[in-house]
Every structure is written in structure tokens, then in C-alpha cells.
Amino acid sequence: MDSPKSPPGSVRRHGRNISHPILRRSTKGPLDAADDPLAGAPASPSVLSPPEISSPTVSAEVQQAISTLPEPALAHRPKANVDLTFLQDPSIYHTLPTEDVAPPFIESEQRPPPGTPLADLLQHGHFRRAADRAAYDLVQCAPNDAEGLLQLLYTRLACLILISRPDLAAQEAASLSDLLARNPPVAKDIVPLIPWELRLLLVRLQSIGATDGGRRGIMALYGLAAEVRATLKQDNDDEVLRDVWPGRLRDLGLRVADALVEMGELETANRHLETLTDADEEEIAYRRALLRIRVGDVTGARICVNSMRDESRKATFEVLLKVADGDFSDAADSWQDMDEQGPDYALIANNLAVCMLYTGHITSSRRILEDASAQLPGFSGLLFNLSTVYELCTERAIHLKAELAQTMAAKTPQPDTSGWEKTTLDFKL
């Protein structure tokens, strides 16, 4: 789950109270929807006609993780003849505004052509258009095709999250969430048909705008964990199910820790991680090290790092500890010694640029970020940092940021970095 609370992707001092250095989106995460400047956008239906007709200028973004391929246990779900017409009311689904999209992406030749299938939109990171397509297909779906309809609903909601519109996702999920909360007799037939990923997403969305600080969401995760344990106690000869459910239980434990971090309960999250004895030890050490750094406990973070077995991850954390101690010069030397062509190049380049900035080498910082932006897809954190450096070192910042947006819009769409399409905020325009 997302946890950063400092300005995501901004150039900031990595001091005692830092978070994970991996490149972040410059827009707010799902639990910050109340502060979203577009949260009050009018909600009007967008699925009365095909998305390529109703919104011809809409592009999109996202990641391949929301592929419509079925989850491992999907084929083992019971079949039931349920009527899901209540999910097909066009008024539920919103027109997606484009005011926040950087203009070069609206005008780019890389936009998907009208009629592009949903699978292709997802594969190439066109998540805004994919959200439109999923809503249109959902309304056209047969009401008793529960498997297809619920998978389309999951795709629609996930795409909204990925384009930083969790507020709309929470509203559109309310029809199903409210039904499950009321628990009418028909719910017992619907619940077994809901994909596990959709159930997790519904839990997350119910925390959007909640006045309880996220506590209800945590209790809902514990409720799912109780359901998993009950399933594990049942005799089941299906090897696939026996492999899937223990993994789900471990995943729920980590999700509780993530939710606590998003609430700001960092010490509670750390204590919770200590109780997850069945989880992967390497993953627990990694998360605890991040938490220790986040609260400024460098000594505690070192203890967690020393218990890691992954040498590459361990080396990265060693440099982060230097950053946490404020030793930017030594940290910059260490980042430069690391393999800049490896899989962690994006992380290395972004952090090296920040260290160079704080040691007074702003020209070097700009060069590093420009090289990274030319070689990598458009990471929002990278673009935001480069735009900030432009503001610091030249009076032509607006022109350079506009050129950067044009360059990114001309790149071949990819599902990485939360999709192809970027917002004006990513470029600080």
C-alpha cells in the first residue's frame, strides 16, 4: 500500500525523518482524496455511448498489475445465477475530467485510437481511457455474467485509483459496498463470486473520506483475515486453494501494517510487523528498516538492515542510512559507485541527483535527472524533481518544463510508472 505523506516526488531533504526513496507520484495517494482539487468535479454519466464517442480527447495511464487475467483461484469460484443489474446503472459512473492532464498528452500521436480493446489499453498504460472502456463494457455486459461484470468493475475502480481519482472510485464502489454492508439474503450468493482483489479494493475504498482516521478499514481487513482462517480450517483437497489462502492471510497482515503507516501510526505498525511470524523474514526486515528510518531511528534501522540476506537491497539501505545521517557527500559517492545500468537505475539516479543538489552541485543534479528522463519512462517523481531543478537554476523554467512534457508525451506508451499519461502537476505547470 502507498504510504508517503511528504510531498510525493518532490526534491526534499532526506534527513532523519525520511521515507522510502523510490520514485513517487507527484499527485496524492488514495487516502488523500479529500485534498484532491478535482474531488468536487461534477459527476455525470459517461457510459451511455462508447467511450471513443463520448470522450474523444481522453487519454489514460496505469500498470500491468491490473491485467484482466483471472486470479489463481478464479476457476474454482462457485457458479450462481445472480442478477447484478444494480451495478449497471449508467448514472453510477462518472465522466473523467481532463483538466489536470498535461496538454501534450491530449494532443499526442501516441493516444490510443477509437475502439481500442480494453486489454490493449491496459497493456500500454492508457488507464484513463481504460477506465472509460471498462465502464462502457460493464453497462453492456449481461446482468447474470457475474464473473465478467465484477472483473470489469474491478478494472474500472483500479484504473481510477491509478489516475489519482480515488474519490470517484469510492463513490462508484458504494453500490456494491452498501449492499454487502446491509447483508441481504442475496449477498450470500454474490460474495463468493467477487474476485479477491476486488474485495481488497472495496475495503481500501471505504476508508476514502472516512472520519474515523482509517480504523474502519483496518477492522475490515481483520474481518477478511477471520474469513481466511475459517476457510483454512475447512477440509479442502484442492491444492490450488490450499496454496492461495495462506498467502492471502500473510498479505492481509502486511496490508494492516500499510494501513497503520497511512494513519501515521508508525510505531504501532512496527509492533504489528513483529507479530507476523509467518511472513517472509526478508520482507519484514525491509519494511521495518523503512519504518525505523522514517521515525529517525537510524540505529534501529541498521539492526534491521543487518538481518537482510539480499545483498543488493542491503547495499541500497546502507547508502540510505548515510542520507539519514545527513552525510550527503559520502552518499553521493556511494550512489555513483552503484550500477547505473541495473534494475535500480531509476532509484539510484533520483537519489544521486538529490544528494548532488544538497551538496551544491545543481548543474550535475540537472544533468543526472535529464539523462534519466531520456532513458526511463516518465516517473512522476523524476519529472517533478527535474521540474523543480529547472525552477532553481534558470529563468526559462516554464519553457523547459513545457518541452519536457512534449518529450514525455512523444514516448511509446508503457504500463510502468503508473501509466503513460501525466498531469500538469507532474511538471509543476
DSSP string, 187-223: HHHHGGGS-HHHHHHHHHHTTTT-TTTTHHHHHHHHH
pLDDT of residue 80: 55
End-to-end CA distance of the chain: 28
Alpha-carbon distance of 94 to 132, in angstroms, equals 9
Residue 344: per-residue pLDDT: 81
Per DSSP, the three-state class of 423 is strand
Q: How far, in Å, CA of 76 to CA of 245, rounded?
A: 13
CA distances in angstroms from 385 to 202, 209, 268, 331, listed in the order given: 33, 29, 32, 18
Alpha helical stretches, state H, 376-425: 380-393, 397-409
Residues present in the chain in total: 429
The pLDDT profile of the chain, 429 residues, written as one tens digit per residue, is 443 333 333 333 333 333 333 223 333 333 333 333 223 333 333 333 333 333 333 333 333 334 333 343 443 445 557 889 999 999 999 999 889 999 999 999 999 998 899 999 999 999 999 999 999 999 999 988 999 999 999 999 999 999 989 999 999 999 999 888 888 888 888 999 999 999 999 999 988 877 887 888 899 999 999 999 988 888 667 777 778 889 999 999 999 999 999 888 999 999 999 999 888 899 999 999 999 999 889 999 999 999 999 888 898 899 999 999 999 999 999 999 886 656 788 889 999 999 999 999 999 999 999 999 998 888 888 999 999 999 999 899 999 999 999 999 998 887 776 788 999 999 998
Task: Give pLDDT, residue 79.
Answer: 52
Q: Which residue, 9, 4, 10, 13, is CA-closest to 328?
A: 13
For the entire predicted model, the pTM comes to: 0.78
Distance CA 31, CA 26 (A): 14
Query: What is the Cα 201 distance to its own chain's centre?
Result: 12
Q: What is the DSSP letter of 93?
A: S
Q: What is the pLDDT of residue 341?
A: 59
Residue whose grid cell is 495517494: 29
Kindly compute the dihedral angle of the four CA atoms of residues 11, 12, 17, 23, in this order, to the nearest 10 degrees.
0
* CA atoms of 167 and 34, how far apart (whole Å): 8
Q: Residues near 284 by Cβ (< 8 Å), separated by ≥ 6?
A: 273, 276
Nearest to 383 by CA among 356, 359, 418: 418
- Cβ atoms of 348 and 321 closer than 8 Å: no
**Exposed e or buried b per residue across 4-37, where buried means at least 16 C-beta atoms within 10 angstroms of its C-beta:** beeebbebeebeeebbbbebbbbbbbbbbbeebe
Instruction: Give residues with Cβ within 8 angstroms of 105, minimum separation 6.
Output: 59, 111, 405, 408, 409, 420, 421, 422
* Alpha-carbon separation of residue 148 from 23, 48, 125, 173, 310 (angstroms): 34, 19, 21, 16, 40
Residue 31 is classified by DSSP as: G
What's the one-letter identity of residue 14? Answer: H
Domains of the chain: 1-35+326-429 (1.25.40), 39-214 (no CATH)
Instruction: Give the alpha-carbon dihedral of 111, 403, 96, 198, to 10 degrees.
Output: 80
Which residue shows C-alpha cell 539492526?
A: 303
Buried b (16+ CB within 10 A) or exposed e, 296-323: ebeebbbebbeebeeeebbbbbebbbbb
Please report where in the chains the cell 486470479 appears, as a residue: 71
